[in-house]
Structure 1
Amino acid sequence: MSAALPVCLGPDVALSRLYRDHFDELRHYLARKLDCPEAGRDAAQDVFLRLLVRPPAAPIHNPRGFLFRTARNFAIDLLRAGNARPLLVPIEDYEDTLLDPASDPARIAEARQRLHALASVIETLPPKCRGVFFLHRFEGLTQDEIAGRVGISAKMVEKHLARAMLHLRRQWTH
């Protein structure tokens, strides 16, 4: 589709055609980005809803590129907000199990095993990426605080965190 989309997409032929031509490809793209097929399908629908509700202000000359850029930004928003599939069971859940004297010994053993497995996966991250992840997740520092402490840009901190999250999503097995 080489023709520019009209200024107002609305529920017209252009958006319908974009949906028909690219929905499956977009769904697969978002499923990979979010590491979850169900989230990919839901996110793809939300991207089209976003275009319907908030159409672009100017004609779009590369509709597919615009669609995928919108999808990429939407996936980043989901991951930042934590609304995609949760990365890991919160570590606090394991700590509660380990510290509760009434915990079942089998649950304690399982919690220890999972924490050890998580530590092993974190250790496989590149050193800078691992350090940024540790400061954010375990020290509770903001991205700006990490940037100042480590001496890198906030954008680079964001990239390290995204890389760490993606790596952990791919490596972590429940």
Structure 2
Amino acid sequence: MPIATSSSDIQQLYQHHNDWLRQWFYRRLNCNEQSADLAHDTFLRLLRKPCSLSLNEPRSYLTTIAKGILISWFRRRDIEQAWLATLAEQPAVYAPSPEQRELILETLCLVSQALDSLTPDVKAAFLLAQFEGMKYRDIATRLGVAEITIKRHIKRALVACLSVMDD
């Protein structure tokens, strides 16, 4: 069966496999509503990135996409929980509006993705500097590299984070 060569192909794929995909998500999340949303997101991804593959096993292809969506969903949930815990510690007068909260959460998720695209040393150096407040020389000692390397790592991480803000 051709996959995603046109919206009618996706519609056919949806008709044949949506219930199965919802069940696939349900077995992992135990929530009908979230399973339906993530199954829907899987087909949206197909619509946004059409390809002209001919597959004997469309469920295998859908599962690959669904796994990526599920990982992103778990990552976003973890970030959201950490963000809400941080908000709960703040006085109510500093609480952002619901719209601001959502924008901040989206930005946090994008920054997390940007940091995940970096090498482990670059990410570690950035996190140690930003969240642990460590000095560059201490980070260099901890990671076993030169201080100039840490400066380059921090610069690379900052550029990645700023590029998210530009988009």
Q: TM-score range by the shorter chain?
A: 0.3 to 0.5
TM value normalised by structure 1: 0.43
**Which structure shows the bigger proportion of residues in helix conformation?**
2
TM value normalised by structure 2: 0.45
